[in-house]
Structure 1
Amino acid sequence: MAHPVAVAGFLVAILPLIATPGASLALLIQYVTEGGRRRALPVVLGTVTGLYVHAALAAAGLSALVMHSSVAFTAIRLTGAVYLIGLGLWTWHTATPAPRRRPRRRTDSVYAQAFLANVLNPKAAAIYLTLAPQFLTPHDPLPAQLLTLATAQALLLTLWLTAWTFLILRATRILQTPRFKRRAARATSAILIALGVRAAVA
C-alpha cells in the first residue's frame, strides 16, 4: 500500500489533469442534461473502471510495453481517436430532431461509452507510467501501491464529477428545454471530435 504522503502528493499532481475538461466531463454534461442525476452514475463508473484498467495494465507491465513500442502506442492512440470522433459524430446525429422519431434511451450504453473513452486514452495510461512511479517505493509490492493510487484518483474524480453534476442540476429549468439539450449535445459532440483529432495528431 502506498504511503499516505505519497498518495497526497499523487492527488496534488493529478488534480490539474482531472480539472482539465475531457471526454468524461463532456459525456456527463450531455447525459445529465438529458436524463438528470441518474445518468451521472454510469459516466462516473465507466470512467473509474477505465482508471483501474490502466492501473492493472501498468502493474502487469503491459502499458509499459505499449508506451515503449511506437507501433503499439500509435495503434492505441489512433483507436482512441477514431472512437472519440465516431462518438462525437453519433452524438451530433442523435441531437438532430427527426420527425416521428421518439427519443431513444441510451442508459445501458452510457457506461460503455465512458469506459471506452477512458481506457482508449493513452494519456490516461501515461499517468501510471510516468507520474505514478514517482510516488512508489521499490521495497513495497507495486500492484498494491498502484491499486491505492488508482483508488485515490477514482475517489477524487468521483468528487469532481459529482460536483459538476450538482452544478448542472442547479440550472435544471434551462437545461431541460429541448433547444438547450440540442445545443448541449452538439457542444459535447464538438468537444469529443476535437479531443479525437488532437489525439490523432499528437
Structure 2
Amino acid sequence: MPTARTVAGFLLALLPLIATPGASLALLVRQIGEHGRRRAVPVVLGTVTGLAVHAGLALAGLAGLTAHHPGALTAVRIAGGAYLIGLAVLTWRSAGRAAGRRPRHDGPAFVQALLANVLNPKAASIYLTLLPQFLDAARPLPAQVLVLAAAHAALLAAWLLGWTALLARTAPRPRPWATRATAAVLLALGLRALA
C-alpha cells in the first residue's frame, strides 16, 4: 500500500491535469445540456471505469509494451482522436434540432464516457508515465496501483460532480450555442490527438 504522503503527492500531480478541460467535461456539458443532470452519473461512472481500464492495462504491462512498440500508443492516440471527432460531429448535429423537440439519445452516456476515457491519450499517459513515479518497487505493485487509481477516480468524480452541480443550475434547458461550443471542444481535442 502506498503511504498517505505518496497518495497526496499523486493527487497534487493529477490536479492540473484534471482541471484542464477535456473530453469528459465536454461530454458532461453535452449530456446535462441536452438531457438534464440525470445523465451526469453515467458520464462520471464511464469516466472512472475508463481509469480502471488504464490501471489494469498498466498492471498488465502496457508500459513495457509501449516502450518496446511505440506504435501501440500512436494507434491508441489515432483511435481516440477519431472517436472524439465523431462525437464532435454528433454533438454539432444535435444542436441543430428544433428547440421544442425532445433530444434523442446518441448512445449510452456511460459507453461514450468510457470510450472517451479509454481512448484518451492524456489518461493513458498518466498511467504510463506519471503513475510509475509514485510506485515503490519494494512493495506489492497491484495494491499500490489499486489505491492510486481509486484516489484518481475519487478526485475526478468529485471534479465532475462539482461541475454537474454548477451546470445543472446554469443550464436548465438545452442551448444550441453551448452544444456547439462542446462540439468545438471535442473537435479540437480530437484534432490535437491526431496531430
TM-score, normalization by structure 1: 0.90
1:193 lines up with 2:187 in the alignment: yes
Say whether 1:65 aligns with 2:65.
yes
Which residue in 1 is equivalent to 2:54? 54
Report the Cα offset of residue 36 of structure 1. Answer: 2.3
**Alignment correspondent of 1:125:** 124
User: Structure 1 residues 46, 99: CA separation in 2 closer, same or farther (over 3 Å shift)?
Assistant: closer
Question: d(CA) in 2 for partners of 1:100 and 1:38?
Answer: 20
Matched residues, number: 195
Consecutive unaligned residues in structure 1, runs of 5 or more = none
Contact (CA 8 Å) 2:24, 2:47: kept in 1 or not? yes
Query: Residue by residue, what CA displacement relative to the aligned partner does 1:52-107 show, whole Å, maximum 9, x if unpaired?
Result: 1001100110243135422222111111100000110111112212599653135x
Contact 1:54/1:63 (<8 A) preserved: no
TM-score (norm 2): 0.93
State the one-letter code of the partner of 2:141. Answer: L
- 1:25-174 paired onto structure 2 within 5 Å: 25-66=25-66, 68-97=68-97, 102-106=102-106, 109-171=108-170
Q: Quick one: distance in 1 between partners of 2:102 and 2:67?
A: 44
Q: How big is the alpha-carbon RMSD for the aligned residues of Structure 1 and Structure 2?
A: 1.8
Per-residue Cα deviation, 1:5-50 (whole angstroms, up to 9, x for no partner): 1001000000000000001001111111222221110010000000
Which stretches in structure 2 are left out of the alignment for 5+ residues?
Answer: none
Q: Distance in 1 between matches of 2:190 and 2:165?
A: 27
Change (3 A) 1:19 1:68: farther
Residues 15, 44 of structure 1: CA spacing in aligned structure 2 closer, same or farther, 3 A cutoff? same
Residue 182 in structure 1 maps to residue 182 in structure 2: no
CA positional deviation for 1:191: 0.5
SS at match of 1:103: coil
